[in-house]
Chain A
Amino acid sequence: MVMTFWWVTLLLLLAGIAVWAITFWNRRAMRRSPVLVANSSFLEQLPSFVRAQRTARIVRVLQVGLAVLGVLGASVLSGRVATERIETPDFASRDIVLCLDVSGSMYEYDTEILQTFAAMVDSFDGERVALSIFNSTSRTVFPLTNDYDLIRRELTEGAEAIDFDETGYRLGTRDYPEEKVRQYVDFVEGTRGIDDQASIVPDGLASCGLLFDQAAQDRSRSIIFATDNEVNGEPIFTLQEAVDGVAARDIDLYTFYPGAFECTDVCFEELKTVTETVDGGLYQSSDPNAIPSIIEQIQRSQAELMGAEPTVIRNDHPMLGFVLALLALVAVLVLGWRNR
């Protein structure tokens, strides 16, 4: 319980005391020139008079008490009594695009990312999520939406479908049931639009950047971009151009790098340098199980970035003071009227 305008309360109380003091010290001067009478001592012998005097005294005490209550109520009311609560406002106005490289090398990480997000959907309230996958071309699995049933369903199905070791299947080291294969094929359908090319990372990222709508609204936009940056083909954009395009649209970039597959450090260095030019976050881990903690880190850094610092939430409680002041006022008026 705190008082926002405690000094107003203080001022009002002081004013009340001052008014009382002035009238108290001047009570003789304020007495209207009295009518002098004599031989009225018998009044005290009249029961009706004694009763009337006692009633008048009680009424006066009541009036004074009520006036004090009224002043107190009004003072407390104007002091704005409030409870304070420290709260971190939910950063619900976020748009998150999951931008996943679905080349053969990434399947384990993609599965983890999708599973983690599927689990996080329950805690979302207003956030919008989109999923875009790319290999040589890009496919939007679902656009930005807050239909959480759909998101959960798509992410869960996606996580299941992408959990497919394509290289191992092709080499014959892994075997999957027919159903599983179809599911995988269906999921990655449209991501191999250009033959003999794979992992056109810059183009994939650029198309992810185009998924954001409502550009006029003040929303937080971020891309969780998972890739090993091993480009096999001729991209239209360079990676730098794609990243600049994303940054130009005010989109935060969180890049996840799982580790080298065939490429040397060159791929990672490029990814790192480019990400850093736009102040993006770069996370690296060769352990798929580290994904949830990385996503949590992304969440936290995003919270800081949005200024979602703990803020003091004030709840006014005007009811008590208001009711007290109102009732006291009404009672004083009624008593004063009755006393006429």
Chain B
Amino acid sequence: MATSLLTRVKARVDLSTSGRARGLIQGRGRSLFKGSGEDFDDLKYYQPGDKISDIDWKATARSGEPLIRQFNEERVRHLSIVADTSSAMAATAADGTSKRDAMVTAAGLVCFLAQKNGDLVGLVAGAEARPTQLPARSSDGHLELVLRTIQQTTTAAAPAPDSSWLIERAFRVTSRATLMTIITDEAHPLLEDYSILRRLTTRHDVMVVRIGDADPLQREDEEHEVVDVNHPREIAELSRHSPKVARDVEAFRRARRDEVSAMLDRLHISHVLTAGDTTVVEDMIAMLRAREYRHARA
């Protein structure tokens, strides 16, 4: 391949952030490191999981909110990309691009930000039958490998999505406190994953990037058939053009999206639902910004 995936993502991120990407990623990767550096940098709102010993009690008393001291540290942070590389991610995204491309871009953004900070990035992906895992490293070659692995593992022939297994797996293989970015689609994580996700958030910072699915009816595209990667069956023209079916499909999908979003909100997990490769960078940066000031309003 002529250009590396990382380079391509960089070009796009630079355009959308005009170099203000630094500091976008904050998370437990930093606050949990032992001996947390010497230079006092800033006070930061307490997040569940932060060390109670880090709480600046005086400042807390002044403000009425629990605050912790933050130190500038030279130590690296641990980032992890939990990528849903199931067949569902090889399908078409809501904006017509490939969900895989959107996922690679999302992962690339994480890698890019990590590269700027010199953070370590690991990968958890695959399926039960074929788990894929890469250790946390920071070299450019490793970041490229992470993106390549995501890109190549995600095929239409890959196993069906199993978000419960993936999250469980991420929980089991990650020993250190990590900032996890789960990249999946609009239907995942499932509502049944609530307890395992909550368990994950007790040890790690979690972000969820969800990539929207294409309309299974494809009403505008009469030229092509529609095939579900995991459930190949013919969807008749009649069904595709029925306004009633379209209304029902839209209602169901909206309800499903909203349910998952509501669950993630309940878990205080930063999440974003993006239409596809064209919007993923902007949407993720907006999410990261919002995350940065998450507690400012409180």
Q: Which residues of A contact B (CB under 8 A)?
A: 31-43, 45-49, 52-53, 55-57, 59-60, 339-340
| Nearest chain B residue, comparing its CB with the CB of A39 | B187
Task: Say whether B165 faces chain A, with CB atoms less than 8 Å apart.
Answer: no
Which of A41, A47, A56 is B237 in contact with, Cβ under 8 Å? A56
Closest to B247 in A: A48
Compute how far the CA of A154 lies from the CA of B126 in the bound complex, rounded to whole angstroms. Answer: 115
Q: Is the CB of B216 within 8 A of A43?
A: yes
CB–CB B248/A48 < 8 A:
yes
CB contacts (< 8 Å) of B235 on chain A: these are 43, 53
Binding site for A on B (CB under 8 A): 87-92, 99, 156, 161, 185-187, 213-216, 218, 221, 223-231, 235-239, 241-242, 244-245, 247-249, 252-253, 256
Cβ-neighbour of A40 out of B216, B225, B237 (below 8 A): B216
Q: Which residues of chain A are within 8 angstroms of B218 by Cβ–Cβ distance?
A: 35, 37
* Shortest Cβ-Cβ A-B pairs, 10 listed: A56-B236, A38-B88, A40-B216, A38-B91, A52-B239, A56-B238, A39-B187, A34-B227, A34-B225, A36-B91
What separation, in Å, do the CA atoms of A60 and B216 have in the docked complex? 21
Question: Chain B residue with minimal CB distance to A57?
Answer: B236
Residue among A38, A45, A52, A339 having the largest count of chain B Cβ atoms under 10 Å: A38
Whether A52 pairs with B89 at a CB distance below 8 angstroms is: no
Would you call B249 and A46 a contact (CB within 8 A)?
Answer: yes
Instruction: Tell me whether B186 and A39 are in contact (CB under 8 A).
Output: yes
Bound Cα distance A47, B221 (Å): 23
- Complex contacts, A339 vs chain B, CB 8 Å: 237-238
Q: Is the CB of B227 within 8 A of A36?
A: yes
- State A46–B230 Cα separation when bound (angstroms): 18
- If over half of B's interface residues share one DSSP class (helix, strand or loop), that class is named, otherwise mixed; here it is mixed
Q: Is the CB of A49 within 8 A of B245?
A: yes
Give the CA-CA distance A212 to B179 in the complex, in Å: 123
Given A42-B256, A43-B249, A49-B248, decide whether A35 and B236 contact each other with a Cβ distance below 8 A.
no
Q: Which residues of chain B are near A39, meaning CB under 8 Å?
A: 88, 161, 185-187, 213, 228
With a cutoff of 8 Å between Cβ atoms, the chain B residues found around residue A55 in the complex are 238
The answer to whether A36 touches B238, judged by C-beta atoms less than 8 angstroms apart, is no
Q: Are B226 and A35 in contact (CB under 8 A)?
A: yes
Give the nearest-CB partner of A59 in chain B: B238
A-B contact pairs, 5 of them (CB 8 A): A36-B227, A37-B229, A38-B90, A39-B186, A49-B245
Specify which chain A residues have a CB less than 8 angstroms from the CB of B226 in the assembled complex: 34-35, 37, 40
Task: Indicate if the CB atoms of A34 and B224 lie closer than 8 Å.
Answer: yes
Which B residue's beta carbon lies closest to that of A32?
A: B224
Q: Within the complex, what minimum Cβ distance (angstroms) separates A291 from chain B?
A: 84
Q: Do B224 and A35 touch (CB < 8 A)?
A: yes
Question: In the complex, are the beta carbons of A35 and B186 less than 8 A apart?
Answer: no
* Residues of B contacting A36 in the complex (Cβ-Cβ under 8 angstroms): 90-92, 156, 227-229
Please, which residues of chain A bring their CB within 8 A of the CB of B92? 35-37
Q: When chains A and B are docked, how far (Å) is the Cα of A204 from the Cα of B248?
A: 105
Q: Which residues of A contact B256 (CB under 8 A)?
A: 42
Min Cβ gap B290→A in Å is 26
Q: Given that A36-B91, A37-B218, A38-B88 are known contacts, is A52 also in contact with B242, CB under 8 Å in the complex?
A: yes
A36 to B215, CA, bound (A): 10
Minimum distance in angstroms from B92 CB to a CB of chain A: 6
Task: Establish whether residues B223 and A32, one from each chain, have CB atoms under 8 Å apart when the complex forms.
Answer: yes
C-alpha gap A340/B213 in the complex (Å): 26
B108 → chain A, closest Cβ, in Å?
21
Contact with A38, one of B87, B225, B239, B241 (Cβ below 8 angstroms): B87
Which residues of B are found within 8 Å of A32, using beta-carbon distances?
223-225
CB distance from A46 to the nearest CB of B (A): 5
Instruction: Out of B214, B242, B245, name the residue touching A37 (CB < 8 Å).
Output: B214
Closest-CB distance, A35 to chain B (whole angstroms): 5
Q: How far is the CA of A43 from the CA of B89 in the complex (A)?
A: 19
Judge whether A41 and B231 touch: CB under 8 Å: yes
Query: In the complex, which residues of chain A have a beta carbon less than 8 angstroms from the beta carbon of B87?
Result: 38
- A47: B residues at CB distance < 8 A: 248
Report A-chain residues with C-beta under 8 Å of the C-beta of B244.
Answer: 48, 52
Instruction: Identify A49's interface contact among B230, B239, B241, CB under 8 A.
Output: B239
How far, in whole Å, are A49 and B214 apart by their CA atoms in the complex? 17
* Contacting residues, chain A, for B89 (C-beta < 8 A): 38
The CA-CA distance from A39 to B99 in the complex, in Å, is 12
Taking the nearest CB of chain B, how far is it from the CB of A340, in angstroms? 8
Whether the pair A41, B228 counts as a contact (CB closer than 8 A) is yes
Given A48-B242, A48-B248, A53-B239, check contact A37 B91 (CB 8 Å).
yes
Contact B185 A38 (CB under 8 A): yes
Minimum CB–CB distance from A339 to chain B (whole Å) comes to 6
A52 to chain B: which residues have CB within 8 Å?
A: 236, 238-239, 242, 244-245
Complex alpha-carbon distance, A34 and B229, angstroms: 10
Determine the distance from Cα of A48 to Cα of B236 in the docked complex, in whole angstroms: 13
Q: Quick check: A37 and B227 within 8 Å, CB to CB?
A: yes
Question: Chain A: which residue is nearest B236 at the CB level?
Answer: A56
Docked pose: A209 CA to B256 CA in angstroms: 108
Most buried by B among A35, A40, A60: A40
Contact yes or no, A42 B252, CB < 8 A? yes
A45 to B216, CA, bound (A): 14
With A48-B245, A53-B236 known as contacts, the answer to whether A38 contacts B223 (CB < 8 A) is no
With A32-B223, A43-B216, A49-B248 in contact, do A37 and B238 touch (Cβ < 8 Å)? no
Task: Give Cα distance in the complex from A228 to B26, angstroms.
Answer: 143
Inter-chain contacts of A43 with B (CB < 8 A): 216, 235, 249
